[in-house]
A and B are shown apart, each in its own frame.
Chain A
Amino acid sequence: MRILISNSSDEPIYTQIKDQIKDQIIRGELDAGVQLPSIRGLAKDLQISVITSKRAYEELEREGFVETIPGKGSYVAPQNKELIREQRLRIIEGSLMDVVREGKLLGLDYKELEEMLRILFEEE
């Protein structure tokens, strides 16, 4: 599991952690059932406070990504495949929105964009 915290970011630390873990779960880098480090162990490794670490896990639990079993630990929750697909589709939509915006700024029309997409698609 990979977590990098920026102290100078606008985002509160717990959000950064939450987003990074969430991201890895969505991308399938963290499978369902994988045990996450203990809250206090995480705090120590990342050199953050216990409360911050706790909050990140609590948010993840609230959003359904993580399950905590008292006395045992925190685990990646089995993900609703539909939900994940939706999340990832949303990410793609976001990227496509950027493409559309940039294209329009440059004065491209739909056909030109479509052509670009087709070429790239065939290249990959």
Chain B
Amino acid sequence: MGPLVMKDIRLIVSNRATQIFLLLYIPFLLIIAGYDFRAEYMYLVVLVSGAYMITILSFSYEIGRKTNQLLLSLPVRRTDIVNAKYLFVFAAFIMSGVYSGIYIGLIKHFLDSQLIAFDLSMLRNASILTLLFVSLVLPLFFGLPHKIANLLNVFVFVTLFQIFGMGVGTLEGIFASPVFAGAGGLYGISAGILLLIISRQLSSFLFARRD
């Protein structure tokens, strides 16, 4: 499993297209949502959407029969492949955290605008959202042909942004609810992890039956 996760990390990091995209992503978000966006959720949005996108991107390297064939001919079990992808989610989250932290931090430093810093509750909310959406979308990639999964992934992604765009009052209400804030966030995180595990079981089941 280790080498599998490392593979995904290496591929994301060394991909030129991804690097350029990440360079433009935050400015893009700032432009399209800047006027209506509550600054304190900037980190959250980038963190969660970044982790989500990086996770999905890691599937794009094995499109079709090509490198997929390579992967399956290596001494790995299918369950290893599934587990590695779920572990990669955490790596994706950290990468996204580093990315958003540094990038937004730099913007804040130079523009000295009202961007609010990282804080624990924001991290908590971000984790829960990430766990939720990743759990939804990963079984799609393990169970369906890539093209279809990718299409459905767009719907999930759009739903994610609907949540971000929900208007500050609603968002604050959600983040203060027992799901997110209960027991210092423990309810939320546990629920998220549980969801992830269920998702993993489903993915494993679907993937084992595929060709």
A and B touch in the complex (CB under 8 A): no
Residues of A within 8 A of B (CB): none
Interface residues of B (CB under 8 A from A): none
